[in-house]
């Protein structure tokens, strides 16, 4: 038996059968109508907390107490989109109805003082409204207007037309097993599908967290890598399965002054957020549109807060670190 020939057979086969390349691209079709459902869930548990302070020459340490604190946030967004005009390979006009925008935040606490729980809902005035995105060649951006309603123009600010994860696609043809890097902006759009939907809590007003939100957007950094895992058939349709790995971090800083009966004080806060996620994007090769999306994994949140009242010679510092999970899912249903 010629063992040398056997050893070279896999190599010869590889040269004889090159891997097929696939064009995985976004191809909008005029008249295409679909319902987009996006859900997001994060769950965080207090992993560590510490604190210290001083008053005059007296140093203070936060007592070590057994505390359980869990924070859960759930969000559900439903858009009904209709591509009304296409040109030059891009959407030029799209009609969007905000069918559902809901958010729930819950807190579970257990400590020396007893147990406590709280739940609050968030909502958006955009829910039930319809807007139209029209591409402006001169400005090279979409102009957003309400279709019929006399809505608050401020609600249109920072809305985004792209919600179909096209930012995760390769720039050219790829073969099974090929990998490519993705701009962090695609990850950012996944965090806020459709842009700023102006979701407010029960006691929250527009603009309350704008500065922190802007910093979190601006400071987002990380690495997002995609790989074409396979091409499979589902119901007679060829689907590209794109594996995604994302490691990202962001944060924000905030400073504020306040007054007390004992004198003026200052407060500073630093927020640190981290993601380590894996999942996949399903892409319909026939229609050139996404067919499903899921990304999940580790999620961390930490905050450092310091306060100082000079007239009292008082200062305090506190750190809280939370660890948990985050899950992002998207489904699409096309109208016949």
| Domain count within the chain | 1
The per-residue pLDDT for 76 is 98
CA dihedral 335, 291, 191, 33 (to 10 degrees): -20
Higher-confidence residue of 274 and 263: namely 274
What integer is the mean pLDDT of 63-68? Answer: 81
DSSP-assigned beta bridge partners for residue 168: none
In a domain, 255, yes or no: yes
In a domain, 10, yes or no: no
d(CA 189, CA 194): 7
Higher-confidence residue of 14 and 154: namely 154
Does residue 311 have a pLDDT over 60? yes
HSE-CB at 22 with a 13 A cutoff on CA atoms is 26
CA dihedral 290, 294, 300, 305 (to 10 degrees): 40
In a domain, 111, yes or no: yes
pLDDT digits 0-9 by tens, 158-212: 999 999 899 999 999 999 999 999 999 999 999 999 999 999 987 777 665 678 8
pLDDT band of 230, cuts 50, 70, 90: very high
Domain that holds residue 266: 19-334
Does residue 7 have a pLDDT over 80? no
The per-residue pLDDT for 206 is 66
In a domain, 7, yes or no: no
**CA-to-CA dists, residue 240 to 61, 237, 282, angstroms:** 56, 10, 6
DSSP-assigned beta bridge partners for residue 188: none
pLDDT band of 336, cuts 50, 70, 90: low
In a domain, 329, yes or no: yes
In a domain, 317, yes or no: yes
The per-residue pLDDT for 334 is 86
Torsional class of 158: left (φ above 0), alpha (ψ -120 to 50), beta (otherwise): left
Burial of 296 (0-12, 13-18, 19+ CB in 10 A): middle
In a domain, 118, yes or no: yes
The per-residue pLDDT for 10 is 45
In a domain, 12, yes or no: no
What integer is the mean pLDDT of 318-322? Answer: 94
8 Å CB contact between 328 and 296: yes
pLDDT band of 21, cuts 50, 70, 90: confident
Q: How many residues does the chain have?
A: 336
**Mean pLDDT for all residues in the chain:** 90
pLDDT band of 313, cuts 50, 70, 90: confident
Residue 246 main-chain phi, psi, to 5 deg: -135, 125
8 Å CB contact between 121 and 73: no
């Amino acid at each position: 038996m010629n063992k040398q020939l056997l050893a070279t057979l896999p190599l010869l086969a590889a040269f004889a059968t090159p891997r097929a390349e696939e064009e995985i691209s976004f191809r909008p079709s005029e008249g295409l109508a679909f319902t987009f459902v996006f859900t997001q869930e994060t769950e965080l548990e207090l992993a560590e907390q510490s604190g210290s302070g001083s008053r005059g020459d007296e140093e203070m340490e936060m007592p070590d107490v057994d505390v359980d604190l869990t924070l859960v946030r759930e969000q559900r967004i439903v858009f009904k989109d209709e591509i009304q005009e296409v040109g030059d390979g891009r959407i030029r006009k799209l009609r969007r109805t905000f069918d559902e925008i809901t958010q729930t935040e819950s807190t579970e606490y257990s400590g020396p003082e007893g147990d406590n729980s709280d739940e609050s809902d968030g909502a958006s005035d955009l829910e039930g409204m319809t807007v139209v995105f029209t591409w402006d060649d001169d400005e090279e951006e979409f102009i957003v207007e309400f279709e019929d309603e006399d809505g608050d123009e401020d609600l249109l600010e920072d809305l985004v037309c792209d919600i179909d994860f096209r930012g995760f696609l390769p720039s050219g043809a790829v073969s099974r097993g090929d990998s490519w890097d993705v701009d962090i902006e695609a990850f950012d759009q996944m965090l806020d599908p459709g842009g700023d939907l102006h979701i407010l809590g029960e006691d929250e007003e527009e603009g309350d967290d704008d500065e922190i939100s802007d910093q979190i957007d601006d400071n987002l950094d990380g690495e997002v890598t995609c790989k074409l895992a396979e091409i499979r058939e589902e119901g007679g349709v060829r689907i590209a399965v794109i594996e995604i790995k994302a490691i990202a971090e962001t944060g924000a800083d905030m400073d504020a002054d306040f007054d007390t009966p004992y004198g003026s004080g200052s407060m500073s806060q630093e927020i640190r957020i981290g993601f380590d996620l894996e999942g996949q994007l399903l892409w319909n090769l026939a229609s050139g549109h996404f067919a499903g999306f899921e990304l999940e994994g580790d999620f961390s949140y930490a905050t450092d807060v310091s306060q100082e009242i000079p007239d009292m010679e008082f200062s305090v510092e506190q750190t809280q670190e939370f660890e948990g999970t985050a899950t992002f899912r998207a489904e699409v249903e096309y109208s016949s």
